[in-house]
């Protein structure tokens, strides 16, 4: 396996490191550059990996995962001396920042994969969308895929613009389901259930529905029809959703997320 450097030691880096080690990557092949001393110490104790406060240390690695917030990415990239380092692969997990801007900040000519993971990666149950710029070789694409598969499924997109849609669908998606679960639990309590009972029922129902959708060769639309008996209780609930134009609500929400991803690129990208 290639050597992998992480710049940033936050939750997503932790999930990737845990997944990689579980998948067989040696801890000795992983380096994390993180400014917070207590976080560096915690990473060392948890994974027995090399940690450093110097981002440039990662330049000796085959792959550098840029795991910092979008607002910090420009500063981090410009501080790296990459003029003589054009053979490593950079993987950015920062939302909204275009590969062309990252390449400019790294002095140009770099192999860059943009990745949009999501928080279930913490449980190695994530979904990641990937886009590679023209400098990325087939071998590097395979390497990026292997790294991200350590925490879930990987989907390649053909255009960078589609990463914004990935952000809207799966990157931000867990929060949409959490909101639905929150609303269902509250409604259950209003109908007379205790908080604990309502929560258990909602969480197990969400888990069961997700498993039915992922473990059957049946579309969500067909599954919905299968559990919606004519004249029954489920039908009444679905009709209530539809009368409120539920599908448009969801469509508008994802469009808002997509548009924000685009505006982030404009706000934080190169002038």
Residue 266 placed within a domain = no
In a 10 Å sphere around its CB, with 0-12 CB exposed, 13-18 middle and 19+ buried, how is residue 157 labelled? middle
Final residue in a domain of this structure, among 130, 147, 171: 171
The CATH number for 38's domain is 3.40.50.720
Residue-level pLDDT at 86: 60
Residue 36 has pLDDT above 70, yes or no: yes
User: Which string of DSSP letters, residue by residue, matches 97-118?
Assistant: --HHHHHHHTTS--EEEEEE--
My answer on whether 127 and 251 are in the same domain is: no
Residue 123 has pLDDT above 70, yes or no: yes
Residue-level pLDDT at 96: 84
The CATH number for 223's domain is 1.10.3730.10
Residue-level pLDDT at 130: 98
Final residue in a domain of this structure, among 152, 171, 190: 171
User: Which string of DSSP letters, residue by residue, matches 33-75?
Assistant: E-S-HHHHHHHHHHH--EEES-GGGGGGSSEEEE-S-HHHHHH
DSSP state of 122: G
My answer on whether 131 and 47 are in the same domain is: yes
My answer on whether 140 and 188 are in the same domain is: no
- Per the structure, the complete domain to which residue 141 belongs is given by 4-171
Stretch 32-44: mean pLDDT: 95
DSSP state of 23: T
My answer on whether 199 and 160 are in the same domain is: no
pLDDT in tens, 181-225: 999 999 999 999 999 999 999 999 999 999 999 999 999 999 999
Work out the angle at residue 115's Cα, subtended by the Cα atoms of residues 114 and 119, and round it to the nearest 5 degrees. 155
Q: What is the pTM of this model?
A: 0.89
Any residues with CB less than 8 A from the CB of 247 and at least 6 apart, and which? none
Final residue in a domain of this structure, among 148, 171, 194: 171
pLDDT in tens, 219-255: 999 999 999 999 999 999 999 999 999 999 999 999 9
pLDDT tier, 55 (very low <50, low <70, confident <90, very high otherwise): very high
My answer on whether 31 and 65 are in the same domain is: yes
Residue 271 placed within a domain = no
């Amino acid at each position: 396996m290639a050597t992998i450097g992480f710049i940033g030691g936050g939750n997503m880096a932790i999930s990737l490191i845990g997944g990689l080690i579980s998948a067989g990557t040696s801890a000795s092949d992983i380096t994390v550059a993180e400014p917070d001393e207590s976080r560096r110490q915690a990473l060392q104790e948890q994974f027995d990996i090399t940690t450093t406060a110097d981002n440039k240390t990662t330049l000796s690695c085959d792959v550098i995962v840029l795991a910092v917030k979008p607002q910090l990415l420009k500063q981090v990239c410009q501080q790296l001396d990459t003029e003589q380092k054009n053979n490593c692969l950079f993987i950015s997990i920062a939302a909204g920042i275009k590969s062309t801007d990252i390449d400019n900040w790294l002095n140009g000519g770099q192999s860059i994969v943009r990745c949009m993971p999501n928080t279930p990666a913490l449980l190695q149950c994530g979904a990641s969308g990937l886009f590679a710029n023209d400098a990325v070789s087939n071998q590097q694409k395979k390497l990026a895929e292997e790294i991200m598969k350590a925490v879930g499924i990987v989907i390649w997109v053909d255009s960078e613009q589609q990463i914004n849609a990935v952000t809207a669908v799966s990157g931000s998606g867990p929060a949409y389901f959490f909101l639905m679960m929150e609303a269902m639990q509250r409604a259950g309590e209003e109908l007379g259930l205790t908080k604990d009972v309502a929560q258990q029922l909602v969480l197990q129902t969400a888990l069961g529905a997700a498993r039915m959708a992922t473990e059957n060769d049946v579309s969500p639309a067909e599954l919905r029809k299968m559990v919606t008996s004519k004249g029954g209780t489920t039908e009444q609930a679905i009709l209530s959703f539809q009368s409120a134009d539920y599908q448009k609500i969801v469509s508008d929400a994802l469009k808002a997320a997509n548009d924000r991803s685009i505006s982030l690129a404009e706000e934080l990208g190169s002038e």
